[in-house]
Amino acid sequence: MAKKKSYAVIGLGRYGKAVARELLQNGAEVLAIDMDPDVVNAVAKSIPHCKCADVTNPEAIRQLGIADMDAVIIAIADSLEASVMATMLCKEAGVKRVIVKCANPLHQRMLLKIGADEVTFPEHESGVRLAKNLLSAGFVDIAELSDEVSVIELEVKDEWDGKTLIELGLRRKYGINIVGIRKQDNLMINVDPEMPLRKEMTLVVIASKQSLKKLV
């Protein structure tokens, strides 16, 4: 049985709560953290593992035990100082992947320079979509065409390397439709079903939520 993915979400505003709840609903282990005890108490019923902690304090970060988590999402863009300090302390604690919500391009550049692995602008990406991408099996959600259908970019799996679309039968096996193949910055929309796939490629796919579950 596959080990559950584990995440910490720091900052429980609307964005942070959306990320935490979506991760929980999809079976991940989630530790939710905020510096305001009233906020923690308010979300405790819907997010069982909540802690109140000063994430600008190195000792508090150490005590949270987040070093071995799959990712930490820092969603406190309204406080530049707290966001920067939490990012630095998480990376110093050994967190492999730190994703930070930022408020503007200057904030973004600063976060990247101090070690953030990814930054996200809330106006460009919803908390729910970030959670879905974290939980995905090597794919990135590009756009939702409806409540049930999305356009995604899908990594070429190891077992697909060197095989053609005809050989793999992805539509028959997974119910997904390949509409393009991206190699570096080049996007091919006239897909040759007899062209061997390579690991450096990504597939642009239209798929339902049910079909995506088969890829996990």
Q: Across the beta sheet with 98-101, what order do the strands follow?
A: 50-52, 29-34, 6-10, 71-74, 98-101, 118-120
- Quick: pLDDT tens for 31-87: 999 999 999 999 998 999 999 999 999 999 999 999 989 999 999 977 888 889 999
- In the chain, CATH 3.40.50.720 covers 6-134
* Other beta carbons within 10 Å of 23: 27
Of the ranges 6-20, 112-126, 189-203, which one carries the lowest mean pLDDT score? 112-126
Name the CATH topology of 137-215.
Alpha-Beta Plaits (3.30.70)
- What pTM was estimated for this model as a whole? 0.62
pLDDT reported for residue 37: 95
Of the ranges 12-21, 57-66, 121-130, 164-173, which one carries the lowest mean pLDDT score? 121-130
* pLDDT, averaged across the chain: 83
* Other beta carbons within 10 Å of 26: 16
- In the chain, CATH 3.30.70.1450 covers 137-215
6-134 is a CATH 2.160.10.10 domain: no
Strand (E) or helix (H) holding 10: strand 6-10
Ramachandran angles phi, psi of 213, nearest 5° = -65, -30
d(CA 67, CA 60): 12
CA angle 10, 11, 12 (to 5 degrees): 120
